[in-house]
Amino acid sequence: MAGKILLAGGAGYIGSHTYLALVAAGFEVIIFDNFVNSHPSVTERLAEINGAPVTCVTGDVRDSAALDRLFAQHDIAAVVHFAALKSVADSVKDPLGYLDNNLGGLVTLLAAMDRAGCRNLVFSSSATVYGIPDETPTPETAEHRAMNPYGRSKIMCEEVLEELAAADAGWAFGILRYFNPAGAHPSGLIGEDPKDVPNNLMPFVAKVAIGEIAQIKVFGNDYPTPDGTGVRDYIHVEDLARGHLLSLQSLLSTGQGHLVNLGTGKGQSVLDVIDAYSAACGQDLPFVFEARRPGDVPIYCAQTDLAKSVLGFETEKSLADMCESSWHWVTSQAHLTRP
């Protein structure tokens, strides 16, 4: 296959699963990561799963010189850009830091790609750009209404990519708006590994299941949803990884960009998640109803037609698969030991 694929932020949760999907499809892949939210031992685990060494370069996407060295050393056909900070709460406390890392990182990376003549990039965007949408399932044409600096950094990044594509048809961008990634690799060797108490539902439920946290707090039971709790479109991280493979293959074969939602199109409530996780771990997980979390959306669900027609993307895995693989990951004693 001509040219390697660079995964910026490839040691993280979604990047590490995408690494495996790309290698399985025959791509030669390089990980570039500063490990601000991942552990270097991820690369050893990827090597163990694949039975082959992993090429990983430690560095920051805001470091032009490091990127120039990387592009000089490797013939890179395309980049998948995962490298970003993703905590909504932290972004409210440190908007400038989020702009520097997420927007500054993208601009620095694009400039290095431009110098190297590499013009294909898949970008990790988020359903968070929709804020509180008028329509669910939400189409890609819905208004941008992100409600926090993290979400707005994703909108700004998308706008940078749109500007560049409009100015020079040589660029091709795959903008992927993920809904709620969940689950882990079946090996139990890689998965989501939050540094602190998790903000997101699935890793929080996992901590309760292994007994590290006493009970799940369900934020709101008075939403206009079938059981009153928040509804989300949870997508298995392995399905999501396959979405990146299809996006890359489309960019490289057509030279045309695309902007698509990646979700299942099916909404699941907080209570659905608790039930599915309870079944996966074989115990009824304790929960308590609490007040709504400020800024929360009642329902988030992807319209999936465009990803299907443009990329041929359809999800294969269920909520039960997400919970079972997460349970296997958290109980496998294979946790990455953070320094």
Q: Using CB under 6 A, list all residues that contact ligand UD1.
A: 86, 88, 126, 128, 150-151, 180, 199-201, 204, 217-219, 230, 232, 270, 293, 295-296, 300
Scanning 32-40, 293-301, 303-311, 313-321 for contacts with ligand NAD by CB under 6 A, the matching segment is 32-40
Q: Nearest approach, Cβ of 305 to ligand UD1 (angstroms)? A: 21
Tell me which residues in 177-196 interact with ligand NAD (CB under 6 A).
178, 181
Q: What angle do CA 84, 273, 296 make, to 5 degrees?
A: 55
Q: Mention every residue, 6+ apart, whose C-beta is less than 8 A from residue 253.
A: none
Mark 80-99 with x for binding to ligand NAD (rule: CB under 6 A) and - for no binding. Answer: --xxxxx-------------
34 binds ligand NAD (CB under 6 A): yes
Tell me which residues in 251-280 interact with ligand NAD (CB under 6 A).
none
Binding-site size for ligand NAD (CB under 6 A) equals 26
Question: For residue 119, what are its two tokens?
Answer: 């013009």
Phi, psi dihedral angles at 71 (to 5 degrees): -70, -30
Of 44 and 140, nearer to ligand UD1 (C-beta) is 140
Is 195 in contact with 38 (CB distance < 8 Å)? Answer: no
Q: Nearest approach, Cβ of 35 to ligand NAD (angstroms)? A: 5
Is 31 in contact with 15 (CB distance < 8 Å)? Answer: yes
14 binds ligand NAD (CB under 6 A): yes
Of 102 and 250, nearer to ligand NAD (C-beta) is 102
Establish how many alpha carbons lie within 13 A of residue 6's alpha carbon, considering only the half-sphere containing its beta carbon.
Answer: 30
Distance from C-alpha of 308 to C-alpha of 261, rounded to nearest angstrom: 10
CB nearest ligand UD1: which residue? Answer: 230
Tell me which residues in 125-164 interact with ligand NAD (CB under 6 A).
126
Three-state DSSP state, 280: helix
Q: Is the peptide bond before 137 cis (omega within 30 degrees of 0)?
A: yes
Phi, psi dihedral angles at 226 (to 5 degrees): -55, -40
Distance from C-alpha of 62 to C-alpha of 44, rounded to nearest angstrom: 25
Tell me which residues in 94-123 interact with ligand NAD (CB under 6 A).
101, 105
238 binds ligand NAD (CB under 6 A): no
Of 107, 17, 105, the C-alpha closest to 62 is: 105
Distance from C-alpha of 193 to C-alpha of 180, rounded to nearest angstrom: 15
150 is catalytic: yes
Q: How buried is residue 177: exposed, middle or buried, by Cβ count under 10 Å (0-12/13-18/19+)?
A: buried
Q: Nearest approach, Cβ of 206 to ligand UD1 (angstroms)? A: 11
Q: Which does 204 bind (CB under 5 to 8 A by kind): ligand NAD, ligand UD1, none?
A: ligand UD1
Q: Which of 19, 98, 130, 150 is catalytic?
A: 150
Of 173, 15, 23, the C-alpha closest to 84 is: 15
Q: Which does 296 bind (CB under 5 to 8 A by kind): ligand UD1, ligand NAD, none?
A: ligand UD1
Catalytic residues: 150
Residues of this chain that interact with ligand NAD (CB under 6 A) are 9, 11-15, 33-38, 60-62, 82-86, 101, 105, 124, 126, 178, 181
